[in-house]
């Protein structure tokens, strides 16, 4: 299969180089890497282009997750579109091969891989990743859960049903639900693992869960989240996290983080279910961009080892140095 990798970015200069290096070290070489950038003000675009990626720019005023994916898929030439967030990086050289492998079965419309936390991931979010992305693969996967931070679809399936550009988030779940209603399969492959770097403020965590709850309201009109749910689920998860932290001997260090993460998670979810459902310009700014940003009103794989990003970065620097030396000699 010819694979195009599509990456959504906004100010990912701290992370995208590691992702680009990881893509370049894969056993399955993609035909192209397409970066859909929504107005980065740092070096994201320059870094991506420096690694050979094609950059498509989308106005912040236009941005939704679904629209960015649609732009990337429309530009792709591969038979398969593999999606990666700008702040993830593959852990193995077989990541892409494992991710797209299930699509060899014509019944599979979507394949998504495992995600784990990175060095700075909050304790409770490590537990969320472990719950959402278990160590065992499942094909077909029951339910329509998936995640476009580490996912692949057949481009022909996208041409038949594009991503919803109106929902503020969970465009992946909306697409997967529709695919299952067409009797197509969702595959979960644990071998296609990435580390997902979330360095969010508490307000950003709250906004993320609020945005996703607003989206879930449109995807599943039976979904509800009451004040009682907020209290019950926060209490249950804080207790479970605290017990796990105690077992690991880090409760004294992590208790405050556990309380804040679970509060922001469920407070955001409660507000998303019980607040306004429309995505206003003000909410768009809050959900997709950091404080102070203003929108301008203008148009485990067998047989392979984990990737050593320090070595990959050093090798690239050697290649660049040698290239500069050759150019210098040619100019003599």
Say if residue 161 is in the same domain as residue 234: no
Reference 186, options 197, 198, 175; nearest CA is: 175
Say if residue 88 is in the same domain as residue 206: no
Say if residue 107 is in the same domain as residue 225: no
Please tell me the number of Cα atoms within 13 Å of 34 on its side-chain side. Answer: 24
Say if residue 236 is in the same domain as residue 265: yes
Say if residue 192 is in the same domain as residue 212: no
When pLDDT is averaged across residues 110-117 and rounded to a whole number, the result is 95
Say if residue 186 is in the same domain as residue 211: no
pLDDT at 325: 53
**What pLDDT band is residue 23 in, cutting at 50, 70 and 90?**
very high
Tell me whether residue 327 is in a domain.
no
Say if residue 25 is in the same domain as residue 157: yes
Say if residue 237 is in the same domain as residue 95: no
Number of helices (H), then strands (E), in the chain: 12, 8
Say if residue 78 is in the same domain as residue 14: yes
Distance, in Å, from the CA atom of 193 to the CA atom of 320, rounded to the nearest integer, reads: 29
Distance, in Å, from the CA atom of 92 to the CA atom of 53, rounded to the nearest integer, reads: 20
When pLDDT is averaged across residues 136-159 and rounded to a whole number, the result is 92
Asked which of 254, 273, 288 is the last residue of a domain, the reply is 288
Say if residue 78 is in the same domain as residue 220: no
Asked which of 144, 175, 196 is the last residue of a domain, the reply is 196
DSSP string over 160-179: HSPPPSSSSS-HHHHHHHHH
| Pair 84, 301: CB distance under 8 Å | no
Tell me whether residue 140 is in a domain.
yes
Q: How many domains does the chain have?
A: 2
Tell me whether residue 328 is in a domain.
no
Q: Could you read off the pLDDT of 285-297 as tens digits, one per residue?
A: 444 444 444 444 4
When pLDDT is averaged across residues 90-114 and rounded to a whole number, the result is 95
Coil vs helix vs strand at 316: helix
Tell me whether residue 301 is in a domain.
no
Tell me whether residue 68 is in a domain.
yes
DSSP string over 99-131: HHGGGGSTTEEEEEEEEEE-TT--HHHHHHHHH
**What pLDDT band is residue 303 in, cutting at 50, 70 and 90?**
low
Distance, in Å, from the CA atom of 159 to the CA atom of 157, rounded to the nearest integer, reads: 5
**Residue 163: is its pLDDT beyond 60?**
yes
Distance, in Å, from the CA atom of 47 to the CA atom of 37, rounded to the nearest integer, reads: 12
Say if residue 175 is in the same domain as residue 225: no
Say if residue 169 is in the same domain as residue 218: no
pLDDT at 327: 59
Tell me whether residue 317 is in a domain.
no
As a whole-number percent, the residues of the chain with pLDDT over 90 amount to 66
pLDDT at 186: 95
Q: Could you read off the pLDDT of 56-96 as tens digits, one per residue?
A: 999 888 888 899 999 999 999 999 999 999 999 999 999 99
Question: CA torsion angle for 39, 43, 46, 51 (degrees, to 10)?
Answer: -110
pLDDT at 280: 52
**Residue 253: is its pLDDT beyond 90?**
yes
Residue range of the domain that includes 232: 202-288
**What pLDDT band is residue 200 in, cutting at 50, 70 and 90?**
confident
Instruction: Report CA 99 to chain centroid distance, whole Å.
Output: 14
Asked which of 141, 164, 196 is the last residue of a domain, the reply is 196
The mean pLDDT value of the chain amounts to 87
Tell me whether residue 311 is in a domain.
no
pLDDT at 304: 58
Tell me whether residue 319 is in a domain.
no
| Pair 159, 192: CB distance under 8 Å | no
- Give the CATH number for residue 95: 3.90.550.10
């Amino acid at each position: 299969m010819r694979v195009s990798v599509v990456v959504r970015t906004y100010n990912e200069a701290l992370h995208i180089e590691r992702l680009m290096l990881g893509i370049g070290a894969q056993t399955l070489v993609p035909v192209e890497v397409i970066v859909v950038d929504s107005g980065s003000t740092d070096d994201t675009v320059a870094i991506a282009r420096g690694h050979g990626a094609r950059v498509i720019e989308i106005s912040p005023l236009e941005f939704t997750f679904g629209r960015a994916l649609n732009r990337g898929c429309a530009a792709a030439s591969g038979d398969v579109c593999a999606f990666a967030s700008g702040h993830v990086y593959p852990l193995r050289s077989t990541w892409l091969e494992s991710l797209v492998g299930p699509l060899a079965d014509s019944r599979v419309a979507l394949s998504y891989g495992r995600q784990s936390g990175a060095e700075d991931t909050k304790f409770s979010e490590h537990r969320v990743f472990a719950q959402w992305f278990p160590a065992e693969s499942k094909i077909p996967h029951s339910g329509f859960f998936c995640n476009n931070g580490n996912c692949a679809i057949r481009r022909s399936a996208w041409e038949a049903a594009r991503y919803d550009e109106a929902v503020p988030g969970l465009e992946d779940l909306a697409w997967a639900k529709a695919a299952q209603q067409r009797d197509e399969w969702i595959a979960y492959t644990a071998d296609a693992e990435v580390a997902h770097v979330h360095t969010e403020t508490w307000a950003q965590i709250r906004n993320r869960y609020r945005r996703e709850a607003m989206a879930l309201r449109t995807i599943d009109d039976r979904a509800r989240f009451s004040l009682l749910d907020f209290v019950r689920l926060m209490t249950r998860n804080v207790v479970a996290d605290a017990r796990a932290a105690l077992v690991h001997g880090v409760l004294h260090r992590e208790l405050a983080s556990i309380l804040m993460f679970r509060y922001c998670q469920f407070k955001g979810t409660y507000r998303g279910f019980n607040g306004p459902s429309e995505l206003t310009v003000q909410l768009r700014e809050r959900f997709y961009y950091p404080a102070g940003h203003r929108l301008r009103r203008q148009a485990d794989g067998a047989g392979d080892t984990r990737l050593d990003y320090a070595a990959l970065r050093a090798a690239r620097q050697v290649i660049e140095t040698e290239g500069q030396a050759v150019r210098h000699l040619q100019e003599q």
